[in-house]
Amino acid sequence: MSAKAADLGEAASRPVYGMIDIDHLSKRYQDILALDEVTLEIHPGEIFGLLGPNGAGKTTLIKILTGLARPTRGHVRINGFDVVRQPLEVKKLIGVSPQEINLDKELTAYENLLIYGKLHQVPDLQARIEELLALAELTQRADHPVRDFSGGMQRRLLMVRAIMSRPRVLFLDEPTVGLDPQVRRSLWDLITQFKASGLTVLLTTHYIEEAEILCDRVGILNRGRLIALDTPEALKARTGGYTVESLRNGRRHYAFFQDREEAQRCALSEAQGVTIRRVNLEDVFLRLTGESLGGKAEA
Amino acid sequence: MNWYPIFLREILIFERRLLRLGYVVSALLMPLLYLLAFGLGLGRQVSIGAGTYLDYLLPGLIAMSSMINSYTWVANGLTMGRLYFHTFQVYVQAPVSPAAIVWGEVASGVVRGLFSSVILLVLGFLIGSRLSLNLMFFLALGVNCLLFAALGVVVGMRAKSHEDTANFSNFFIMPMAFFSGTFFPIAKMPWALRVMVRCLPLTHTNDLLRSPDWNGGALASLGILVAYSAVSLVLAVFLVARYSE
């Protein structure tokens, strides 16, 4: 009786975890607070986008989630496992496509996948490698050294390598940085396929379009703080419907309006370089911080 | 312990570089230069103990070359992989233990060290040197490679730049190569220096490669090498385990 009651009590008091649970997470590097009390829950099966300018803390957050960096304060759990105390359990669940292309350039595409597969003890490795080479459209180039590949090919290889061990959670840190629009779109298709297979994806980007097209929810990081968290639509709706962008004394100015007529009235009063457009996630960031994702601007 | 993938990667990269023209020459150039310059040049006019200078020099060069090759590849590979190519991060993000990472790296360092030793051995025999090769010789050689590969992991994990590994090499590895009885017997050194040199691991490797006997002195030397290796391995695993960016 008492044992049963204790069991029930434990089950009742155990918190219900999301796929990724970030709880008051801070990371300090000497004088810089890279992450400041970030709390966030990412649901199973969603594509979650972390948006923010360079240096906002996106990569630091991914490093902590994937065991590359230790938090200064706070806790992180992936599928209920603590990343600091149960690192091996966590690493069995995750796949990472980092910002830097960290493939072995001297080795072939096949060898890169082979080593990664053995590291993660992937069953039926040969079949899995062939499957992934096909998915990355690299079957013909399997035995070529990666250094001869284009940027897009290297990114595709990096991304399929990340899903090799059939992870539950996939981390994509700036997956399309520096690629031309066509290649970027082909990678978006790949990410959409990942989502269809039930993967939870955490993606960092500073491309607005990428976040709007791919993500179910978006978190905006600025100077280590999570300053907004919602669906892209809800974030935009809160900012307004339309943006009037104008040029005054060589500087860009932005004004946000709920309806189009109001925006047009405002636009007519501006002297030069005026555009009216629908609010995007960049505007959300601008409204919240007074800065654009790429640098200073005035709202 | 899943160390094999780490070893496999290092060996595949090693193999690629071996196929590159000039690699073998550049990796082995220094010991070869010493062998030719000292062994055939100076050595013709010098004799140490009963044998020729070449017989004295060859085990020393093998010890030195195995040390440099085991150490340099591991230390440079880790430093570059950690700081510039970010390939080390793939290991850290994989479900493998710190000990597996260290063991994979060290095993690849041992292979590289032994590879250079074998080339020197063959060359030495071709130019007429005689060595007594027995189990103790290869045991000492293997432990020497293990020790310096483990030290390579320690330096590779601590280095903040490529220069750091080179500095450690210039201030520790190279002086040790010269003072541990590689080129001349330490018996003729001043007393204080001799005590210092006795503490250096390479001195014991040199002793063992020159007279690979199973007596008390040799076993003590082997014990010292094993102790140094154990400390280096533990330190290496500790540094990998607390790796944080």
For B158-172, the pLDDT digits (tens) are: 999 888 888 888 888
Rounded to an integer, the average pLDDT of B167-187 is 86
Q: How confident is the model at residue A13 (pLDDT cuts 50, 70, 90)?
A: very low
Q: B91 vs A119: CB contact, 8 Å cut-off?
A: yes
pLDDT digits (tens, 9 = 90+) for B188-220: 888 888 888 999 999 999 999 988 888 998 999
Residues in B closer than 8 angstroms to A120, CB to CB, are 94-95
Count of structural domains, chain B: 1
Query: Residues near A108 by Cβ (< 8 Å), separated by ≥ 6?
Result: A142, A143, A144, A145, A146
Q: What is the value of pTM for the model shown?
A: 0.87
CA distance A247 to chain B (A): 42
Task: Give the pLDDT of residue A219.
Answer: 93
Q: How confident is the model at residue A261 (pLDDT cuts 50, 70, 90)?
A: confident
Rounded to an integer, the average pLDDT of A276-291 is 81
3-state secondary structure of B201: helix
Task: Give the pLDDT of residue A11.
Answer: 42
User: DSSP label at B127?
Assistant: T
Name the least confident of A154-163, B34-43, B76-85, B193-202. Answer: B34-43
CA distance A236 to chain B (A): 35
pLDDT, greater one: A279 or A16: A279
B17's tokens: 């570089």
Q: What CA dihedral angle connects B161, B166, B170 and B174, to 10 degrees? A: 140
Task: Give the pLDDT of residue A8.
Answer: 42
Task: Give the pLDDT of residue A10.
Answer: 43
Can you give the residue range of the structural domain that contains B188? Answer: 3-242
Question: Rounded CA gap, A174 and A205, in Å?
Answer: 5
Q: Of B6, B17, B90, B108, which to mutate for an interface test with A (greatest number of A Cβ within 10 Å)? A: B90
Question: Rounded CA gap, B117 and A249, in Å?
Answer: 72
* Interchain contact A118–B (C-beta under 8 A): yes
Residues in B closer than 8 angstroms to A104, CB to CB, are 9, 12-13, 87
Closest partner residue to A68 (CB to CB) among B6, B12, B93 is B93
Q: How far apart are the first and last CA of chain B?
A: 24
In chain B, pLDDT over 90 holds for what percent of residues?
51
Question: Rounded CA gap, B148 and B69, in Å?
Answer: 9
Q: How confident is the model at residue B38 (pLDDT cuts 50, 70, 90)?
A: confident
Residues in B closer than 8 angstroms to A63, CB to CB, are 245
CA distance A102 to chain B (A): 5
pLDDT, greater one: A56 or B106: B106
Of B169, B145, B132, B135, nearest to B232 (Cα)?
A: B145
The identity of residue B184, as a single letter, is F
* Interchain contact B89–A (C-beta under 8 A): yes
Predicted confidence (pLDDT) at residue A198 exceeds the cutoff of 70: yes
Q: Of B16, B18, B93, B244, which to mutate for an interface test with A (greatest number of A Cβ within 10 Å)? A: B93
B214's tokens: 């199973």
Predicted confidence (pLDDT) at residue B42 exceeds the cutoff of 90: no
Predicted confidence (pLDDT) at residue B50 exceeds the cutoff of 50: yes
Which long-range contacts (C-beta less than 8 Å, at least 24 apart) are formed by B229-238?
B229/B143, B229/B146, B229/B147, B229/B150, B232/B147, B232/B150, B232/B151, B232/B153, B232/B154, B233/B102, B233/B106, B233/B146, B233/B150, B235/B150, B235/B154, B236/B102, B236/B106, B236/B150, B236/B153, B236/B154, B236/B157, B237/B98, B237/B99, B237/B102
3-state secondary structure of A103: coil
* Interchain contact B125–A (C-beta under 8 A): no
Phi, psi at residue B180, to the nearest 5°? -90, 20
